[in-house]
């Protein structure tokens, strides 16, 4: 049994999708993900990204991020991200929410699922401390209320830790709810403030084995063969490896070493 290992867009946040694809291919990844910025996404961006994907025989694990706004009203920009995922053949689209009302978030999630369904794309809701959905239980309630087979849950190891969850809780979930997971390492604790949680999420991550999180334990509690997306949002890695391909290679090599040492087989 083995896991797909994918390069998350967040590892290369300053690069455009076609550059992420080139870096993923050069680093030896089989899968990658893209951040779709509506104001930068057009026919030329799609063509460049598709060319890079095909040239390196990549598969697109996900596109991100659909941010449900306060009030829950979706716009053409949200639809554009979904459509980009469909055009790229993405398996998943990542969603977060600023809407505190669970029912409104569920309605928006259902609409996103309806848009994604023609491409069999899963719509994965992520919980994290800088959004309105801050726990796995809250996310699961919204997913169930959305009542659509495309609706899914995204586990990110650092957000899972910050929410105070334990790996054993993952063993109770239906495998069909978890189409993929984002993994990284980081500090065991974080000051409970918005500013600290934000810095923690976008600057202080590290590769599995370089921090204090129970990454291997979390992975073992997830479904067998679940794809693993390496989201190493790290200022240290950005500073040390300014080039996209160099950073992707460094992240992949460090993560592979840790996973292999822990008997987690990836491909």
Nearest to 78 by CA among 46, 38, 49: 38
Residue 56: is its pLDDT beyond 80?
yes
Backbone dihedral angles phi then psi of residue 197, each to the nearest 5 degrees = -65, -40
CA distance 160 to 163: 5
In percent, how much of the chain has pLDDT > 70?
100
Nearest to 155 by CA among 138, 171, 170: 170
With DSSP H G I counted as helix, E B as strand and the rest as coil, what are the percentages for the chain, rounded to 5? 50, 20, 35
Residues 132-187 pLDDT 10s: 999 999 999 999 999 999 999 999 999 999 999 999 999 999 999 999 999 999 99
Backbone dihedral angles phi then psi of residue 16, each to the nearest 5 degrees = -80, 160
Query: Do the beta carbons of residue 161 and residue 104 sit within 8 Å?
Result: no
HEC per residue, 143-169: HHHHCCCCEEEEEEHHHHHHCCCCHHH
Region of 72 on the Ramachandran plot (φ > 0 left; ψ -120 to 50 alpha; else beta): left
Structural domains of the chain sorted by starting position, each given as residue range(s) with its CATH number in brackets: 5-261 (3.20.20.150)
- 206 DSSP 8-state letter: B
CA distance 194 to 130: 6
Residues 237-252 pLDDT 10s: 999 999 999 999 999 9
pTM (two decimals)? 0.97
Structure tokens of 101? 């009302």
pLDDT at residue 93, rounded to an integer: 98
Nearest to 56 by CA among 18, 12, 86, 84: 18
In percent, how much of the chain has pLDDT > 90?
99
Residues 140-155 pLDDT 10s: 999 999 999 999 999 9
Query: Do the beta carbons of residue 6 and residue 227 sit within 8 Å?
Result: yes
- Confidence tier at 114 by pLDDT (50, 70, 90): very high
């Amino acid at each position: 049994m083995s896991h797909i290992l994918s390069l998350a867009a967040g590892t290369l946040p300053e690069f455009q999708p076609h550059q992420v694809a080139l870096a993923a291919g050069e680093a030896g990844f089989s899968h990658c993900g893209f951040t779709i910025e509506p104001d930068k996404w057009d026919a030329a961006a799609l063509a460049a990204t598709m060319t890079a994907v095909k040239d390196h025989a990549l598969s697109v694990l996900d596109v991100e991020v659909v941010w449900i706004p306060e009030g829950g009203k979706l716009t053409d920009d949200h639809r554009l991200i979904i459509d980009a995922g469909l055009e790229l053949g993405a398996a998943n689209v990542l969603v977060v929410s600023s809407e505190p009302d669970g029912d409104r978030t569920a309605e928006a999630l259902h609409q996103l699922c309806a848009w994604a369904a023609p491409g069999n794309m899963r719509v994965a809701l992520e919980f994290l401390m800088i959004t309105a959905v801050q726990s796995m239980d809250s996310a699961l309630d919204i997913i169930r209320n959305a009542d659509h087979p495309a609706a899914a849950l995204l586990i990110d190891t650092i957000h899972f830790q910050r929410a105070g969850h334990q790996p054993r809780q993952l063993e109770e979930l239906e495998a069909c709810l978890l189409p993929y997971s984002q993994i990284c390492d980081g500090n065991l604790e974080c000051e409970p403030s918005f500013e600290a949680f934000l810095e923690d999420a976008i600057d202080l991550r590290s590769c599995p084995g370089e921090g204090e999180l129970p990454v291997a334990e979390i992975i073992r509690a997830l479904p067998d063969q679940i794809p693993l997306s390496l989201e190493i949002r790290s200022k240290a890695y950005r500073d040390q490896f300014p080039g996209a391909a160099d950073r992707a290679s460094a992240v992949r090599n460090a993560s592979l070493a840790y996973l292999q040492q822990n008997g987690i087989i990836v491909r």
